[in-house]
Amino acid sequence: MRWLRRIVQPEPDRLSVASAGPPIVVHLRRRDTAKRMTLRVSSATGEVALTLPPRADLRTAQRFLDGQANWIATRLARRPERLPFVPGAVIPLRDEPHLIGHRPGERGRTRVVRMEGGPPEIVVGGDVEAVPGRVRRFLMAEAQQDLSAAVRRHAGRLGVPFGRLTLRDTRSRWGSCSSTGALSFSWRLILAPAEVLDYLAAHEVAHLKEMNHSPAFWRVLRDLCPATDSAEAWLKRNGTGLHRFG
């Protein structure tokens, strides 16, 4: 007697869509709660993702994607051009343009030099290959300094303790507050105006008092940060663009 064994192939985690250039990769995500297929293009990372209901057929998903090829390509083309941390690049620091300058013969820490007749310069020494990493570490150190000071100030006003403060490169949120009082922020806030960074610090500290977004929370936040509305408006207009740097 012959036993037949059915081999079940694992479902792929991505599909591709033909375009004028290389094929566009689309990441697949199944969600038990999804009622229909949902297509998204991240303006921050350029990732194309298709969320599928539990029983959606992959052939149907492919036909759907093929029909949306032009829309996907248009959305990707609208993304701001990436700007790496390389010598000669101009990047914002606290919303002020700074030139990345490489001085290979110099030793010591990365620093800002201000000279008449030009933008401030972020001076980086050492090998040119190390410039991107050193600029990123410099920006993260500046963000840690500014956010720590802002959090201490706002927490002091409220009389609340806070836990560990960490920096990450988050894409979906600028800050978070855990139930244990730990605070986390995107280091890219150092690229934004100082009032925007201060607003995010106040926002998360306010959660130490009100772990919700109730009217009470907003009263606490606006008392800490009168510039709440203008800072939120700036982030809505310009926040996505901060992800193009580095």
Residue-wise pLDDT for 190-205, tens only, equals 999 999 999 999 999 9
- Tokens representing 200 are 């995010």
Kindly calculate the radius of gyration of the chain based on its CA atoms and give it in whole angstroms. 23
Whole-number Å distance between alpha carbons of 213 and 176: 13
Judged against a pLDDT cut of 60, whether residue 219 lies above it is answered with yes
pLDDT band with cut points at 50, 70 and 90 for residue 7:
low
Query: Domain boundary residue among 23, 56, 77?
Result: 77
Tell me the C-alpha distance between 162 and 207, whole Å: 10
Note the pLDDT of residue 46. Answer: 81
Residue 214 sits in a domain whose CATH number is 3.30.2010.10
Overall average pLDDT of the 7-30 stretch: 84
Q: Is residue 185 part of a domain?
A: yes
* Coil/strand/helix, residue 181: coil
Same domain assignment for residues 222 and 114: yes
pLDDT tier at 106, thresholds 50, 70, 90: confident
- At how many degrees (to 10) do helices 215-224 and 131-158 cross? 110
How much is the pLDDT for 38?
Answer: 93
Mean pLDDT of 10-22: 86
pLDDT value of position 5: 54
pLDDT tens-place string over residues 70-100: 999 888 888 778 899 999 999 999 999 999 9
Same domain, 98 and 70: no
Residues 64 and 94 in one domain: no
The reply to whether 96 and 47 lie within a common domain is no
In a domain, 200, yes or no: yes
Range of the domain at 59: 14-77
For residues 104 and 197, membership in a common domain is answered with yes
- 167 and 219 housed in the same domain: yes
Q: Which of 123, 117, 134 is nearest to 100 (CA)?
A: 123
Domain end (from 44, 77, 110): 77
d(CA 42, CA 70): 16
**At 43, is the pLDDT very low, low, confident or very high (cuts 50, 70, 90)?**
confident
Percentage of residues of the chain with pLDDT beyond 70: 96
Backbone angles phi, psi at 210, to 5 degrees: -135, 100
Query: How buried is 171 (Cβ within 10 angstroms: 0-12 exposed, 13-18 middle, 19+ buried)?
Result: middle
- The pLDDT score that the predictor gives to residue 42 is 83
- Residue 112 confidence (pLDDT): 96
Whether 107 and 207 share a structural domain: yes
- Report DSSP letters for 204-236, one per residue: HHHHHH-SS-SHHHHHHHHHH-TTHHHHHHHHH
Burial of 182 (0-12, 13-18, 19+ CB in 10 A): middle
Looking at every residue in the chain, the average pLDDT score rounds to 92
| Domain assignment of residue 7, yes or no | no
175 and 229 in a single domain? The answer is yes
Whether 85 is covered by a domain: the verdict is no
Statement to judge: residues 149 and 62 lie in one domain? no
Q: How many structural domains are present in the chain? A: 2
Rounded to whole angstroms, the Cα distance separating 18 from 69 reads: 7
Q: Assess whether 132 and 231 both reside in one domain.
A: yes
In terms of domains, do 64 and 113 share one?
A: no
On whether the CB atoms of residues 139 and 166 are closer than 8 A, the answer is: no
The pLDDT tens digits for 146-170 are: 999 999 999 999 999 999 999 999 8
User: Could you tell me whether strands 165-168 and 183-186 are parallel, antiparallel, or unpaired per DSSP bridges?
Assistant: parallel
